Each structure stands twice: as C-alpha cells, then as structure tokens.
Amino acid sequence: MATMADVARKAGVSRSTVSYTLSGIRPISDDVRERVRAAMRELDYSPNALARGLASKRSGIIAMLYPLLERGVNLSGLDHIGAAAAQAREAGYNMLLWTTAVEDIDGLEELTQQGLVEGVILMEVRQNDPRVRFLTDAGIPFSSIGRSGLEGDAPYVDTDFDGTARDALAHLESIGHRAVAFINHSRSTIEKGYGLALKMQLAMETAALALELDLVSVACDPQFRAGSDAFVTLSRERPEVTAIVSVNEKALVGVVDGITRSGLAVPDDISIVALLSSVETAETSVPSLTTVSPPPHEMGREAMRYLVECLESGTRAGHQRLVPGQLVVRESTGAARRHEHTATR
Amino acid sequence: MATMADVARKAGVSRSTVSYTLSGIRPISDDVRERVRAAMRELDYSPNALARGLASKRSGIIAMLYPLLERGVNLSGLDHIGAAAAQAREAGYNMLLWTTAVEDIDGLEELTQQGLVEGVILMEVRQNDPRVRFLTDAGIPFSSIGRSGLEGDAPYVDTDFDGTARDALAHLESIGHRAVAFINHSRSTIEKGYGLALKMQLAMETAALALELDLVSVACDPQFRAGSDAFVTLSRERPEVTAIVSVNEKALVGVVDGITRSGLAVPDDISIVALLSSVETAETSVPSLTTVSPPPHEMGREAMRYLVECLESGTRAGHQRLVPGQLVVRESTGAARRHEHTATR
DNA sequence: CTGTTAGCGCATTCAT
DNA sequence: ATGAATGCGCTAACAG
C-alpha cells in the first residue's frame, strides 16, 4: 500500500499538495495536478480510510440499524437495505449493519462511542422508539424509515398511509365494490408500538368515509389459522363484503384459504388488495396479489440521501417525506359480484 | 469524548499504561489497573476505533458481501446475515454490508484498498466466483458461505448436499414412497455457475441409488407457471411418482398448483419435501412444507467464526465444513398412497 | 511492572 | 500556488 508520502516523493511535491489535489479545496496548477495524478496511478495509490477519518473526524461510515430478531422480517426490508447501501456507496460512504434489537440501547451506545460512525439510519421504527431518543440526546445525526413520533425536525421517510388507503379503496370502488373488510395486525402488535397498524387503521377509515364505502375492520394475529378463521367468521357475519384490504401479510395467506373453504373464489367472489407488501410476496402468491405499496427502494434511497445531506451541509429542512403508494393491479382484484348472497357455508 | 491522555492524566499514569490495561498484553499491578479503570469510568472513556485501527493495522471491520441485485433473494439470506452479524459483534468486530453484484470486482477492489476492511465474508458464492480469485490474489482473508471450487484451503461453510439428499429420500422411503421426482433449478441457472443445482443433482442421484428409489429429475424455471406445468406433465408421464423433492422454491408453489389442477392432494396423493428452504417459506405455505435444510444461523455463525479465527491466529486448519440438513416434518409429507393409478385428468 | 517515544497516514493551519 | 509542521488518538517497540 502506497502512502501519500510515496506519491509526494514520486511527484516531487509536498505531502500537503497531494492531499489538496485529492480534496480540491485549494487551487492547484494544472502541471502539478497532472504529476500528482500520474504518480498516484503508477503507485496504485488509494487513500487510507482510517487515517483520513482520524484526521478529519469524518469516518465515512453510516450505520444501518436493522433489528433482525423481531417479528418475522419481510422481504421489502432487504429492498430498503439494498437501496440505502447503493445510495451510500454513490455518495462515498460505507454502510455498517447493526442488527440487535430495538431495546438494545447499550449496544447502540457502544457502537456510537467508538467514533466509527458518522450517522445512523433507523429501520423498523416504533412509536416512541428508544433509539430515536438516544440518538437525539447524543447529538448523533440520523434519519429513519418510518416514524417514532419524536423525531422533531430530524429527517425521515415514511409511507403515505392516507394515500395508500385511498388508492386501494378507490381502485376497489371503481370496479364496483361497496363493502370492504380491512384486515389489520393484531391488537397486541398495535399496542407494542408498531405504529403502522394504528396509522393504517385511521387512514382506511378516513378513506372509506370519503369514498362512501362500508368498512369492516378486523384485527388479526399474523398466522395462517387466524386469517383463515377470520374470513370464515367475516363472511358469515358480513356477507355483503366483496373485497378485502390487508396489511397483515402473514394472515393474508390464511384469508385466501378461508375464502376457498367458504366455497368462494378470488377474484370472482372476493377481491383482495395487499398493502405494503413486497413484490416478491405479491407475485409468488396464488393468485398474484394486487398491491398498493410505496416503492421500497425509493424509501431506502431517500432516507440515506437525507442523512448524507445532513452530514454534509447540516441542513435539515424539507427532509421529512411521505412516499405515496403505487397501485399494481394483478390477479386478485376484479369486478364486484352482484350482491345476491351467494352460497356461504 | 475523552481520550486516552485524559484517562492517563486522571489516573496519574502514562498513556501507554492505559493502553496496556486495555489490551492486557503486559502485566499491570492491581493498584494501577484499578485506578485506570476508575478514571475510564468517570470520564466515560471509550477507545476511538479509527485511531486504534490506524495504529494497530487492525480495523476490526469485516465486510459482508451479499449481492442483492441478483435473482430474487430469499429469506434465509437474512438469517445468514443476522447470525454473522451477531457472531461478529460477540467477537468484537463490526460488519460492513456490501451489496453490489458478484461481477463488480472494481468495486470490491476499491473497498479493500481503503484499508478499512480486515476480512471478508462471501455470500451467494458461484462456481468460479471472481471474488474468490480476487481476494486470494490480493491476500485478503475471507471465508465463504457456499463454495466456488477455487478456495483452496480458505475457510468455508457449505451445505452438506449428500446428507441433505439422503435425509430427504430416507424420510420418504420410510413412509412408503418408491418413486420420487426431483425438481431442480433450470438448466440456465445451472450453467450460470450456480453450483448448488449441480451438486444437489448429483447428491440426489447418489442417495436414490443407495436407497433403491426411482428418481425422475426435472429442471424447471423458477416460476409459478413452470412449476405447475412441470407437475402436470410429470403426473401424466410418470404416474408412479408419489413424492416430490424440490430445491426450486419459486417453482414449488406452482407445483402445488399443478397437483391441485390434476385433481390430487398434498400429502394424500403426493408428498412434498422442500430442500434448503427458509423456515418462513415452509411455514407460510399451504400446506406447510416438510423441509431438509441446514440451519442458516449455524452457517452464518460458523463462517464468521472461521474468518475471525483466521484473522486472530492465522490458522486455517479445519475451517472447511459441510453443515448437515435438518429434517423438519410438517404437513406436506405422508404415507405413500397404494400404487393404483388414481385418477389423473 | 511502568514510562518515554516514535510512528500509523492523512488533514489542515500557518507560512511563504 | 506550494511547503513545512502539527496533531488526530492510539499501539508498540525500546528503555529502565
């Protein structure tokens, strides 16, 4: 590994000149610049990140906090990560992956005390997320995917829940559905501070009101069985329902089973729209699922972009954004069947 | 941020003594050790990773290479990562995540030239993987999950394909199956150097021979449609088949559909064993899938452990390991139906 | 057992 | 437009 001193010697200049040609923060004559560059090339020089970081107090490392031991991770998490990593790289940063639980503030403190990390990206943010509190107090720049409710003016990217609900219901309404069931997460999940469930609930109710649709909300455990049973009950008690909107990916598989068990078919009798689902899941389902989801790669990129901007310019303005969902119509939605109480049980 | 000098001053010792109490590589009197520790506590000192890395030439950072733009990533990838990250942390390392394509050797070179990374973990390893070649030439310690065929004595952890095939077939054999179909990846996948497909093929053939089972192999594109059609064809041409073993997760969903289309049921008419599938997928399938897979967290942990050992002791011996599959019987396998040509089409 | 000192490779201030 | 010199915070000889 060649060092800056090697380059300087070879180019016949001082070390600082080499440094400045690299950073460009002070004028360098064309002649010298060329000599330095040539020397770098010949020596296959590349700056040492540790030394640079130590001297400049800028490590160029961003930590991605992605708690992995939680509730079953889903595939869009990977998209977020991939997008954030790509964006980081383009901006000249490296991305550290930190996977301990949301509650592990000691670990987080240890990480940030090392002086290795310039900024942090938070994923799987919860209502009142302790990490947000810690990072704010510690004065460490961060940006989050999702909201905790206490970020203040810190940057974040979150789902536009209202838009997502509206798009889903508008799609159903446009093809004739009038009564829709909303399969949400379980109450215990909501209570654990998984804010998504609550926000989605409100958004659905608002959108249904605006579109004058009948909305039946069902809280459901994230299991096959729960979903299946939920539908059977639903179809008995609310036979007028012709469409289902779900944020509960796990339960949804069961719902489809419940529909089949009830002697009904998707989308002939019941249409389904999945919210915030990964493309993977939507496309490998049978039938494939119509979805409304904000593109995960956009969320990942934006969150990283905001953080980098904070790091480099100190600006925090306009760095809070709600990403609208994107409706992708697949096989699970179709025109509403005429409301004539088709066989159930 | 307190520095070592601060601690030294407060404890009334020299800087090096502080350093040595931390590393423990030279004897320190109990008295001094206590004073130093107290000073550290009071100042809330924690060593600067960059400075330490620069001075010691050991950054404490390991890069995890996990190409993300490839063929649809699966969920066990996340398990590998999570396990590796946990292991890294326990060993005192941080884990950098690098997500560019396998072919992006320039990017990899850039990363490793920075002097930021001490060692590398490779995932999604391909036959003749260019990354292995590069890292070997560059003399950068690495460990891989999967094999490229050119690691030499470099550490790796891979699936025990023979064991996996044997366990899957032995299970089927024990419940009366005599003719089994093997749904592999597509030929093009095999040709792209995705060695898993080839190794699994050989292992299945060997195991079938040993158990005196009839084996029909089918190469299949990773799509719903392909899987579905493949089964329909299969059941027409080989009606004696009562069980299916698959490594092709994507196609498998289709296979189940094909079975249904043929008027058959799982596991009453056809049993299914999924190989190398994630627990997630297995449990959310309908019916849930009997699987044989090596525990991904074990593979992740081991790969990381091997790398850390190389880094710290230079020992490479005995660091190549094949992890046996683990049979988990779920709903998709049952006793073979008596061979009596039940209705097809 | 402890202290002194010389770097690690680079950024940056102060000269010129 | 360029050079010289200092220091970032720590490790690891070397000296005692």
3-state secondary structure B164-183: HHHHHHHHHHHCCCCEEEEE
What residues have CB less than 8 Å from B192, skipping those under 6 apart?
B126
Residues of chain A with CATH 3.40.50.2300: 61-159+295-324, 161-293
Query: Are the C-beta atoms of residues B19 and B11 closer than 8 Å to each other?
Result: no
The protein residues having a beta carbon less than 7 Å from any atom of strand C are A 1, 3-5, 15-16, 19-20, 22-23, 25, 45, 47-48, 51-52, 54-56; B 12-17, 20, 26-29, 31-33, 51, 54-55, 115
CA gap B57, A44 in Å, rounded: 19
Q: pLDDT digit string (tens) for A207-239?
A: 999 999 999 999 999 888 899 999 999 999 999
Comparing alpha-carbon positions, the chain A residue that sits nearest to B227 is A284
- Helices marked H in B118-238: 130-138, 161-174, 187-191, 195-211, 224-237
| CB burial string B46-67: b at 16+ within 10 A, e below | ebbbbbbbbeeeebbbbbbbbb
pLDDT at B280: 81
Q: Is the Cβ atom of B312 within 7 Å of strand D at any atom?
A: no
CA gap A247, A74 in Å, rounded: 12
pLDDT at B341: 46
In one letter, which amino acid is A96? L
CA gap A265, A286 in Å, rounded: 11
Q: pLDDT digit string (tens) for B120-171?
A: 999 999 888 999 999 999 999 999 999 999 989 999 999 999 999 999 999 9
pLDDT at B345 over 60: no
Query: What CATH number does the domain located at A61-159+295-324 have?
Result: 3.40.50.2300
Residue nearest to nucleotide D6 (CA to C1'): A55
Q: pLDDT digit string (tens) for B299-314?
A: 999 999 999 999 998 8
Q: Separation of CA B16 and C1' D15 in angstroms?
A: 13
CA gap A278, A291 in Å, rounded: 9
In chain A, which residues have their Cβ closer than 8 Å to the Cβ of B115?
1, 48-51
CA gap A86, B75 in Å, rounded: 20
Residues of chain B with CATH 1.10.260.40: 4-51
CA gap A210, A208 in Å, rounded: 5
pLDDT at B343 over 60: no
pLDDT at B327 over 70: yes
Tokens of B274: 């999924």
What residues have CB less than 8 Å from A51, skipping those under 6 apart?
B54, B115
B270-278: average pLDDT: 95
Mutation pick from B56, B65, B94, B259 vs chain A, by most beta carbons of A within 10 Å, is: B94
Nearest to A197 by CA among A214, A211, A218: A218
Contact residues of A toward B, CB < 8 A: 1, 46-51, 53-54, 59, 61, 64, 68-69, 72-73, 75, 77-78, 81-82, 85-86, 89, 94-100, 107, 110-111, 113-116, 224, 250, 253, 257, 280, 284, 286
Q: Separation of CA A59 and C1' C15 in angstroms?
A: 29
Superfamily of domain A4-51: lambda repressor-like DNA-binding domains (1.10.260.40)
pLDDT at B32: 94
More reliable by pLDDT, B78 or A192: B78
Closest-approach nucleotide to residue A48, Cα vs C1': C9
Residue nearest to nucleotide C8 (CA to C1'): B55
State the pTM of this model: 0.92
Look at the domain A161-293 and name its fold. Rossmann fold (3.40.50)
In chain B, which residues have their Cβ closer than 8 Å to the Cβ of A80?
none
Q: Is the Cβ atom of B25 within 7 Å of strand D at any atom?
A: yes
By Cβ distance, the residue of A50, A78, A116 closest to B54 is A50
Mutation pick from A261, A284, A289, A331 vs chain B, by most beta carbons of B within 10 Å, is: A284
pLDDT at B28 over 80: yes
For residue B173, give Cα distances in angstroms to A11, A18, B179, B214, B339: 73, 71, 9, 11, 14
CA gap B136, B151 in Å, rounded: 8
CA gap A156, A143 in Å, rounded: 5
CA gap B128, B319 in Å, rounded: 20
B241-266: average pLDDT: 93
With residue A23 as reference, give the H or E element that holds it.
Answer: helix A15-23
By Cβ distance, the residue of B50, B85, B110 closest to A116 is B50
- Left, alpha or beta for A141 (phi > 0: left; psi -120 to 50: alpha)? beta
CA gap A299, A23 in Å, rounded: 31
pLDDT at B317: 81
pLDDT in tens, chain A (345 residues): 899 999 999 999 999 999 999 999 999 999 999 999 999 999 999 999 999 999 999 999 999 999 986 655 666 788 899 999 999 999 999 999 999 999 999 999 999 999 999 999 999 998 889 999 999 999 999 999 999 999 899 999 999 999 999 999 999 999 999 999 999 999 888 777 677 888 999 999 999 999 999 999 999 998 888 999 999 999 999 999 999 999 998 899 899 989 988 999 999 999 999 999 988 889 888 889 999 999 999 999 999 999 999 999 888 888 999 999 999 999 999 999 875 544 443
Strand arrangement, sheet containing B326-328:
B214-219, B179-184, B243-246, B271-275, B290-293, B326-328
Nearest to B333 by CA among B293, B273, B250, B275: B273
